[in-house]
């Protein structure tokens, strides 16, 4: 299984609705994973920011990119495993990729 989502980098704009917002639900090996993404042009240095929220079986995990260059992050991407597989999650400023890996 591979889940891939990519969006355009937003240029500076003060117009409402210029953000990228996504809310998706994935069901994987008896796990419910809700993925919320909010990308926007923030004020001050760093400019573009992306906030990820992972809700895995009701437990919330937050991962935030505090600038366009990934120099500052806050939070942690959750580790999601089953008995024989795990999900590798790559979260970047304008894309996310979730790929299943066998542990055997």
Rounded average pLDDT per 10-residue block, the chain, 104 residues: 83 69 93 94 75 96 81 88 94 92 92
pLDDT number for residue 81: 94
Task: Return the closest-CA partner of residue 39 out of 10, 70, 3.
Answer: 10
pLDDT number for residue 69: 65
Compute the distance between CA of residue 57 and CA of residue 91 in angstroms, rounded to an integer. Answer: 20
Residue 24: enclosing H or E segment and its boundaries? Answer: strand 20-28
Contact yes or no for 40/19 (Cβ under 8 A):
yes
Q: What's the sign of the alpha-carbon dihedral 36, 38, 39, 42?
A: negative
Compute the distance between CA of residue 22 and CA of residue 33 in angstroms, rounded to an integer. Answer: 14
pLDDT number for residue 25: 95
pTM, rounded to two decimals: 0.85
pLDDT number for residue 104: 85
């Amino acid at each position: 299984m591979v889940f891939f989502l990519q969006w355009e980098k937003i240029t500076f704009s003060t117009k409402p609705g210029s953000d990228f917002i996504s809310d998706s639900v994935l069901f994987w090996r008896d796990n419910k994973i809700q993925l919320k993404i909010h990308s926007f042009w923030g004020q001050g240095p760093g400019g573009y920011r992306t906030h990820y929220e992972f809700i895995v079986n009701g437990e919330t995990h937050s991962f935030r990119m505090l600038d366009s260059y990934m120099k500052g992050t806050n939070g942690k991407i959750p580790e999601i495993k089953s008995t024989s597989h795990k999900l590798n999650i790559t979260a970047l400023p304008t894309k996310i990729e979730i790929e299943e890996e066998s542990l055997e």
